[in-house]
A and B are shown apart, each in its own frame.
Chain A
Amino acid sequence: MKSAVIVFPGSNCDRDLAVAIEQASGTKPVMLWHRETELPAGIDFIAVPGGFSYGDYLRSGAMASRSPVMAAVKAAGTRGVAVLGICNGFQVLTESGLLPGALMRNAGIHFVCRDVALTVENSQSAFTSRYSAGERVVFPVAHHDGNFFADDATLDRLEGEGRVAFRYAESINGSARNIAGILNDSGNVLGMMPHPERASEAAHGNIDGARMFQGLVESLMATA
């Protein structure tokens, strides 16, 4: 499986994400600097990591989403390549238009950094196939701008089309309908605020996140 982790100035979860991907797939992902304009040929999976790209200037993810590499990521995501954006990566994906809505300042203003319980809402996607629908998992979150916003029509469409992948078990940041992660209309792009890569090995004290990467590798190998 050929994968890449995008690295922006200010990314800080890129190496953790690379470790989680390598553990699940057995192959090291290519670390791709934001100035690159092309993705490796035959790429199967692109991960957009958490962090504070461009210091969150203007809006979280705004500058990163307009960087050269994102034009290629957007094109790949549109033609069906699997794309996963975590935390700042989710913000980058909404800012780029690959996913609908926006991530705003947490309703309680505070930066939220703790383990949170989530409900898996959709277990049919390539990313969530190793979970069961309705299952409760715990992932860490660490964000200031995780308050998901979209208009009611968009929220209704996301719900109706089964595109809410994860929901917070209780409100932690004011997100509309407690949405923690969403899929695009084809199901090949997932954005989420919680960090599965920080719950991927025994030393983390929690391995709920490992199944996301294992399931994804399995799905991608099956279609390869």
Chain B
Amino acid sequence: MKARVFVTLKGGVLDPQGKAIHHALEGLGFSGVNDVRAGKLIELDLADGTSDADIDAMCSKLLANMVIENYRIEKLG
């Protein structure tokens, strides 16, 4: 089975990378971009039957830093 983990910065945490991307998009002439937040996508190829609790623990123990980030798990069959 596969799972995708989306790691994003918590609201209110400054995202310099997102700001730089935003600036570059504007530089390319794309107007109307209100804000950009950059995050990470981590794809996990897991043994069948890996429990939700284990995937959750992988996120909270390593994949995301709970001081500054949130995560969302998407299971793909």
Chain A residues within CB distance 8 Å of chain B: 58-59, 62, 66, 94-95, 100-102, 104-109, 147, 149-150, 174
Contacts and interface: CB of A to CB of B under 8 A. Distances in A.
A27 B19 CA distance: 48
Nearest to B14: A107
A175 to B, nearest CB: 11
Contacts of A147: 14, 16
B65 A105 contact: no
Nearest to A63: B62
Interface residues of B, number: 12
Contacts of B57: none
Interface in B28-65: 61-63, 65
Contacts of A108: 16
A107 B67 contact: no
A171 to B, nearest CB: 13
A109 B13 CA distance: 15
Nearest to A94: B67
Per DSSP, chain B at the interface is: helix
B16 A106 contact: yes
A93 B31 CA distance: 42
Interface of B: 13-14, 16-17, 19-20, 61-63, 65, 67-68
B20 A102 contact: no
Query: Which residue among A58, A62, A106, A107 has the maximum number of chain B CB atoms within 10 Å of its CB?
Result: A58
Contacts of B67: 94, 100-102, 149-150
B14 A66 contact: no
A66 B62 CA distance: 8
A36 B61 CA distance: 21
Contacts of A107: 14, 16
Contact of A102 (B16, B17, B62, B65): B65
Interface centre among B14, B17, B67 (most CB of A within 10 A): B67
B62 A104 contact: no
Contacts of B16: 104-109, 147, 174
Contacts of B63: 58
Given A101-B67, A149-B67, A150-B67, A58 B62 contact: yes
B46 to A, nearest CB: 18
Of the candidates B13, B14, B20, B61, the one having the most CB atoms from chain A within 10 angstroms of its own CB is: B14
B10 to A, nearest CB: 10
A104 B14 contact: yes
